[in-house]
Structure 1
Amino acid sequence: MKRKTRLLVTVNVILIILSASQLISQPAYTTGTWVKTGGPIGGLGYDVRHSFTNLDKWYVTDAWGGIFLSEDRGLHWQGINEGITTRKGADGIPVFCVAVDPHNSDLVWVGTELTGKIYKSINGGETWTEKSVGISDTLMPLSFRGITIDPVDSGILFAMAEIGSPAWHPSGEAVNGIELDLTMGIVYKSTDGGEHWREVWRGNNLARYCLINPQNTQEMYVSTGIFDRESANTDVGVGFAGGVGILKSEDGGESWRVLNQSNGLMDLYVGSLFMHPLHPDTLLAAASQNNWSAYGEDFTGGIYMTTNGGEQWQKLSDEEELFTVVEYCICDPNIAYAVSNVALYRSEDAGFTWNRFNRPNGTWGPPGVIAGLPIDMLCDPEDPLRIMVNNYLGGNYLSLDGGLSWQIASDGYTGSLIKALTVSKRDPALVYSGSRSGVFYSKNGGKNWFGMANPPEGLPAKFNEIATMVSNPFNDQSLLAVAMDYPGVLYSYDGGGSWEATEILIGFEKMKFSPADGNILYAFAGNRTFITIPENIPPDNELETLFGLYRSPDEGIHWDQIESDQVKGKCIATFGLDPLDSDIIYVSMCNGAMLKSYDGGNTWEAIGNGLPVIPALTIEASKTNPLTLYAGLGYKNPMMGQGLYKSVDGGNSWARLTAGLEPEGLILDIALDPENDSVVYIADNYNGVFVTVNGGTTWQKLNEGIDHRAANVLAISADGSVLYLGTEGGGVYRLGEVSATPTHISINEYGS
């Protein structure tokens, strides 16, 4: 009996040891390869098109992520950029427009943003070859906004583009009107299948769509202008909006005449144009411009229609909205759509009358998402109620009921510019992100993303352009966020299900919870202080008094500016917090000075021996040894990296780390393994992610699986087993495995 008992105990001990060993997590870097989550939605979306021979094949473009293909009508996407070599920034793939040949759908064309390139695929997008002979290489920046293939002859193509002001203005510099670039436009024509191009029009606004009459291919129209550019002939001084209108040619594009106010087109910024599929003399247009449509006594933007080939246009809308998209459904031309920044409109009589659909708060989009300005749409070629809209802030939205309801349709497609990233302390699979396209969460390690843009009642129905977002390390349902177009700080106690406004009306650049006390936050306001309530904007000479460091004692509900003269009214570059003492703060000033406070900011001392007089962009302290700190130095405007430094005495002295690092790396974030501070990760905006396993003595790149190396932000799980990376144009990546059945924590289970 004793032997059996001893044997049973031994077996149990072995099982316990085995179970414990299985629970010991491995550091994220040991996984080796990053997983691209394909989300959240975001980027700079542009065109949506379909194949003519296989109606399940759809294409979408993004000026950061490139071109993507779906083989199930938009439900799932994959990047198809092999052979597209032009880049924007570190590795953004700036594909703007796409066109599918109606005669041979294996022939697909794309044009790029800023870099002025045209590419052709002969295999449905699998590979690409540049076809830019004849395109000017001196008109830079040059952005192709549209490509059109002749409906009768595949050898004839037109490419429409925007010429940025540095390319045409005598100063050679960017020149704005009221707030946006003054652009010219250009149209190229090819008669040999894109082998050679020649200019056939140049004028005072960008060119986008070219529509060719299929019954008479000598007759064609080109739309000019878009909502977020101003025209080269704009004159702010005299209040002249400028613009061109719509171009019409009756000789195959060799000469053009202008359709404008004299034809009833009262707004000359025509961002969208669509021809009736059966009656080519009937066209719909969407016209609007951010500033000029509302500049005069009458709002000029709206939906316009012509039934006589553009000779007379009639405005069909009364709403003062920025209409940016119109389209007829090819399968049923009686159904037409128009989309604005606040609503979708559907017509069932070919565009003569319209029904409006949106949410009570004046927005539209999937649950938890406030759609950005629509930039293009596609009506399913077999179902007029199945529509997809692509948005300027990135992301596809799909409706199966003609615009009554929406769902995200961007699985595998993202060009998102991630500005904030935070992971649950209790569940590595739960991650939150903030970006230009809004606030999102995933509860399965990024496989699926869901929106959290549920703005509080009574405040502007906007929740885009996120500057900073944080979660409480002791309660991952407690979130705070700052949106650039919002008056102040928003907080949520239910994981983003609902939001409330705090009392402060300053939008911070960065916020951080104290790792030592979940009630305490610090934040700073600096050169990008956002104060959007007019009566709260002080005179220019007093604006800087709002700069500085702020502290909240109650999870971000109330805030107080730290009154010390050393930080109040001063420009702060970044700050870091001690993990064990909420009163210890490190601040890097914009002038390069490094300060430390032991009493919550009341008094400060200068530290930083060994540091150059250059500001830090990120400061992080070890959670196991708070005297160990890392700082990435550099400038954001212009962006210039100045390397990585380490301190082992609480910031008093610093030494530069170089072995294995790029000498001028732009280090925007640092993440230390919470279980082992010898393991450190850095996000280099130029070169991707680096890791050290010996406390910074040597470093190696950790980029396998990353196709966008413009690393912005990192978030590491509490056990160090999962690391998330937020990029500039590639969305979120994950390193390390997460549970297939993530833990769900009720807010009531959390303590503070």
Structure 2
Amino acid sequence: MEKRWFVTMGVVLLSMAALLALMGLVEGLAMTITYPVLAAPPEVVTPTVTGVDPDSGPNDIDTSIIIAGTNFTAELSGTLVITAPTAYLGDTALEDVVWVSSTTLSATVQWGLDPGVYTLTVVNPDGGTGSLADAFTVTQGIGVWTTGGPYGGRAQFVILHPEDSATVYAASQWAGLFVSEDAGGNWQPILADDWPTRLVFDAESSNVMYYSGDSASFHRTDDGGQTWGLLPELFHAQDGCFTVYAAAHPTDAGVIYAGTGSCAGIPVLPGEGGVFYSQDYGANWVTRTQGLTDTDLVDIIFHPTNPLTMVVATRGGSIFLTTDGGLNWDLQSTIPDDLRRIYINPYGANEAWALPEIGYQPPVRPYLYKSADLITWEVITLTDDLLPSGGIWSLTFAPGEIWAAGGWGYFSDDGGASWSGVITISQQVGGVRSFAIDPSDSNVIYAADSDRGVLKSSDGGTTWREINEGLAALTTRDVAAAPGQPDQVYVETYEYGLLRSASGGYAWQELGVRKGGPPKGKIVATDPFIPTRVYYPVGCSGDGPCIWYSTDEGSSWHEVTMTIPATYTGWTGELTAIAAHPLVSGTLLAGAGFYQERSDFDEGIEPCGIYRSDDHGATWQFLGPTAPISEVLDIAFDAVDPDLIYAATNGGGLWRSTDGGANWMRVPISNTLSPVVVEAVVTHLDVPGKVYVRTYSYAESPNPEPELWVSEDAGDTWQQLTYVFLGVDLLISPPVPGYPPYTLYTGCETGLCRSTDDGQTWEPVGGAPRPEILAAASDGERTVIYLGSPGGLVTSIEQQSALSLNTIPGRDSVLGSGVYRLAMRLPNHWVYLPLVLRGYIP
């Protein structure tokens, strides 16, 4: 044993000696090796950054930018870029940096950065670095309401400021009054209203304006629209509504007349309507109806040469004249038509023109009435073309010229003997409602259009372009967000049809499909499994209900016609609502109405049923029910049970299926009496059988107040939740299961309200206008709520309490119609921490 130990130690010592000798040999050799001279390292190319476009963006969405500069380099293999430069905002690396050329890079500023002004730095692959200070501004988008329109919509009239022709006013049905102070370059809403009729200016101060509409919308501003005051009610209409047509005295300050008449088909009763007069800016009023045998007025005007001479027109066609400022009126004639407007040409012979009230259908040749004495009238036909847009809406006069608004617009330079079209048929317009001509440059003309907002011509009407930036006046009828892609959103509008935004509503694209007719239920659906698929019911060539679907986000469409059930053979069918199943891929349900007379469908009284598709909308099967139900407005699916489905109807209450739609039964909602309108139904995202509904019971009142209900057992029993006024939709957010706590959103008296305790209590959401439609989507890091709104007044409670009685905020407190967006981080993503692997930290 001892001998073996000595042998082992000897081997170890010899090995160590050999190793030391080898190391010495290597070291000696190293002393004698001569190294070749190394090549000089390549010169570092230093880039410069000269600009960024755009140079700002909100932090609730990714923003694509273009970086301009010089000496941007990339490692290439042929034409293939192996390594592109990197770019940073502050110390945050930008995403998707692409080398375009030595002077151009593209990149993405990712959402979630803190608001502020950032330096942008570019680093070439060789390490060369260049920066531009204050290059990009990140604005606050998370947690605040933002909007990018869409812009345009239904403009009723356009008027120029009497002292500054670069200040332009446009009034829109449902959205109110807008102003542009840069000749239509940008618009801002200054007064929310539903039905504008006139905007007139005081004779002495143009800061004093009167805005008239229906009986609840007669306003005056003394500060150019910063604030507005509601004028006293002229009279109390027994049936609740009348229309006001304001006319400011052309020479006397503070003198204002108001013609009044029927409203929304509600006639004025004996003793109501007529002419009202005020000489103290509308604070006090007296009637001036002596001699008016018809008090249902539609217009009141001054003679251009003598303001004591005035003319009124009535809906029934009567023309009255006064020569003493309205103290006494005399009937001059009765035109055999209902009337819309009356004018006296301020130029030439001061002839009178009367505009007949013409319906949208059937199409007719547009015509006017012309008179030299208000007694005899000549019919003037403008064109032999048949127009479906309601004839002529207004006239605008210039020396030797008459511009008639209606259809594509008409122009006459010979006193109305002949007319020519103004806007070419190739220009997409819905129907011109008014013209305004710049008095300082007659080549500049504005047109208000019933679909396309405001158009402008700078060459005397030869060419036209839309000028709608900020003119948020579209009628939004549905909003749908793509599940998992919260920046992909669709909006359905009456004027433009379906639009899509890939930027969270900051920019919009028309998709070229449009569903006419009155608004129905939720008619736009996105596929929860294939985000590029979208469904939209547009009219087809056949009589059956029709759905269009797109597999490429609306770029192209496929038409599918459903078979009408035998019960309705020979009838016409049309969809009223559609929804995609969130648990079963490819399954959709749709509500459809059937009618013989189109008016039944327009009024919502047609019989309805439900269809189902299990192949992404390629084919459809009619499910029933056996007995027809009321119009389907909304469809909701249980969060856990794929066969449990709810249908909200327009008068028939709530319906439920427990077998995937094969059979349906009506679900009584506590003691609510029929007919019951269920405008919205939504299911809880985590709790099976839990469902919320908003209801109106028309058995209680012709104008019922809404009620909010919740059921924990699929509708077998119900609990009424806290009363919330003016609700028109209902939403749970975040819209993904497994992310409690959840928040309920719905419309309320102040605009939008939310509840964080399952509807027991509610609080207003600041900065949001009144909603018509609510939608939401989430990508697992943030939730985005979309709100489709007709616009309106938005002020804080503190602002409202500081205002005097009947004072209404104007600029900066009014939002236009359109789609509003609110982005919020999900609870487990409160801090944005991008994972970045990089070799440089500026």
Q: Identify if the C-alpha distance between structure 1 residues 335 and 607 changes in structure 2 by more than 3 Å, giving closer, same or farther.
A: closer
Question: Deviations along 1:262-312, whole A, 9 cap, x unmatched?
Answer: xxx55x333234443322523444323228998xxxx68513334556644
| Mapping of residues 57-456 of structure 1, within 5 Å | 57-62=167-172, 64-81=174-191, 96-115=197-216, 118-132=218-232, 135-138=234-237, 141-164=240-263, 168-169=268-269, 185-201=273-289, 202=292, 204=294, 206-225=296-315, 243-258=316-331, 260=333, 265-266=335-336, 268-279=337-348, 281-290=350-359, 302-307=367-372, 311-317=376-382, 318-321=384-387, 322-330=390-398, 333-340=399-406, 342-356=407-421, 365=428, 371=430, 374-391=432-449, 395-400=453-458, 406-425=464-483, 427-439=485-497, 440-454=499-513
Mark the CA change 1:645 to 1:448 in structure 2 (over 3 Å): closer, same or farther: same
- Structure showing greater relative contact order (alpha-carbon pairs closer than 8 Å, 6 or more residues apart): 1
Cα deviation for residue 449 of structure 1 reads 4.3
Q: TM-score, length-normalised on structure 2?
A: 0.65
Alignment length, in residue pairs?
641
Quickly say closer, same or farther: Cα 1:157–1:603, change in 2 above 3 A. closer
Kindly tell me: are residues 552 and 395 of structure 1, through their superposed partners in 2, closer, same or farther at Cα, counting changes over 3 Å? farther
1:77-133 CA-partner distances (Å, limit 9, x unpaired): 22334xxxxxxxxx9666542112354312211223132x53322221222334437
Distance change in 2, residues 1:308/1:449 (3 Å) = farther
| In the alignment, structure 1 residue 671 sits paired with structure 2 residue 744 | no
* Residue 411 of structure 1, CA deviation: 3.2
Task: Letter of the 2:391 partner, please give it.
Answer: F
Residue deviations 1:345-404, cap 9 Å, x none? Answer: 2334453322235676xx864xxxx52x54443233344454333356794344455666
1:578 offset after TM fit, Å? 4.3
Aligned to 1:480: 536
> 2:301·2:312 contact (CA, 8 Å) conserved in 1?
yes
Which one of 725, 736, 739 corresponds to residue 823 of structure 2? 736
Letter in 2 for 1:210: I
Counterpart Cα distance in 1 of 2:113 and 2:645: 31
Deviation at 1:191, TM superposition (A): 3.8
Inter-partner Cα distance in structure 2 for 1:467 and 1:406: 35
Judged with a 3 Å threshold, the aligned counterparts in structure 2 of structure 1 residues 286 and 697 are, in CA distance, closer, same or farther, namely closer
Query: What is the alpha-carbon distance in structure 1 between the residues aligned to residue 227 and residue 483 of structure 2?
Result: 43
Q: Structure 1 residues 130, 635: CA separation in 2 closer, same or farther (over 3 Å shift)?
A: closer
CA–CA distance in structure 2, aligned partners of residues 433 and 320 of structure 1: 32
Report the aligned-residue RMSD: 4.6
Aligned match of 1:548: 609
Cross-structure match for 2:574:
507
The alpha carbon displacement at 1:557 in A equals 5.5
Q: Is the 8 A contact 2:445 2:460 kept in 1?
A: yes
Distance 1:677 1:217 in 2: 68
What displacement does 1:735 show? 0.8
| 1:53 corresponds to which of 151, 156, 163 | 163
Structure 1 residues 334 and 23, CA, compared in 2 at 3 Å: closer, same or farther? closer
Structure 2 counterpart of 1:703: 765
Contact residue 186 and residue 199 of structure 1 kept, 8 A: yes
In structure 2, the partner of 1:469 is 523
Q: Is the 8 A contact 2:724 2:747 kept in 1?
A: no
After superposition, give the CA deviation of every residue in 1:148-185 in whole Å (9 maximum; x if it has no partner). Answer: 22323234332222234757458xxxxxxxxxxxx985
Compared with structure 1, are the counterparts of its residues 642 and 466 closer, same or farther at alpha carbon in structure 2 (3 Å cutoff)?
closer
Question: Per-residue deviation at 1:550?
Answer: 1.6
Q: Measure, in 2, the Cα distance between the counterparts of 1:514 and 1:563.
A: 18
Identity %: 19
Residue 644 of structure 1: how far off its partner (Å): 3.4
State the alpha-carbon separation in 2 of the partners of residues 293 and 492 from structure 1.
32
Deviation of the 1:335 alpha carbon: 3.8
- Counterpart amino acid of 1:513? A
In the alignment, the residues of structure 1 paired with residue 506 and residue 519 of structure 2 have an alpha-carbon distance, to the nearest angstrom, of 23
Change (3 A) 1:326 1:17: closer
Q: Distance in 2 between matches of 1:142 and 1:628?
A: 44
Question: Where do 5+ consecutive residues of structure 1 fail to align?
Answer: 1-14, 82-90, 171-182, 226-242, 456-460, 739-752
1:741: which partner in 2?
A: none
Alpha-carbon shift at residue 424 of structure 1 (Å): 3.0
Q: 2:635 aligns with which of 575, 582, 589?
A: 575
1:200-240 alpha-carbon deviations (Å, 9 max, x no partner):
23554743433322322233333433xxxxxxxxxxxxxxx
Do residues 562 (structure 1) and 623 (structure 2) align?
yes
Instruction: Give the C-alpha shift of residue 138 in structure 1.
Output: 4.1
For residues 478 and 588 of structure 1, do their structure 2 counterparts lie closer, same or farther at Cα, with a shift above 3 Å needed?
A: closer
Partners of 2:580 and 2:588 within 8 A in 1: yes
Question: CA separation of 1:490/1:381 partners in 2, compared to 1, >3 Å: closer, same or farther?
Answer: farther
Secondary structure of residue in 1 paired with 2:548? strand
1:559-581 deviation digits (Å, cap 9, x = unpaired)? 4321453x655665643124677
Is residue 213–residue 280 contact of structure 1 (8 Å, CA) maintained in 2? no
Question: CA 1:428–1:588 in structure 2 vs 1: closer, same or farther (change >3 Å)?
Answer: closer
Shift of 1:713: 2.9
Distance 2:654 2:282 in 1: 56
Write the distance in 2 (CA, Å) between the matches of 1:162 and 1:23: 53
| Contact 2:237 2:268 survives alignment (8 Å) | no
Q: Distance in 2 between matches of 1:721 and 1:612?
A: 35
CA distance in 1, matches of 2:518, 2:458: 25
1:656 aligns with 2:723: no
The one-letter code of the counterpart of 2:287 is E
Quote the offset at 1:723 in angstroms.
0.7
Match of 2:12 in 1: none
Q: Which amino acid aligns with 1:689?
A: L
Q: Provide closer, same or farther for how the CA distance between residues 479 and 125 of structure 1 changes in structure 2, counting only shifts above 3 A.
A: same
Tell me which amino acid in the other structure corresponds to 1:339.
A
> Which residue of the partner structure matches residue 631 of structure 1?
692
SS in 2 for 1:509: strand
Q: Distance in 1 between matches of 2:146 and 2:269?
A: 44
- Distance in 2, matches of 1:410 and 1:448, equals 13
1:278 aligns to what SS in structure 2? coil
Q: How does 1:574-653 map to 2 (within 5 A)?
A: 574-578=634-638, 583-587=643-647, 592=653, 594-598=655-659, 600-603=660-663, 616-622=678-684, 625=686, 627=688, 629-635=690-696, 637=698, 638-647=703-712, 651=714
How far apart are the structure 1 equivalents of 2:597 and 2:661? Answer: 27
Q: 1:255 to 1:394 in 2, by over 3 A?
A: farther
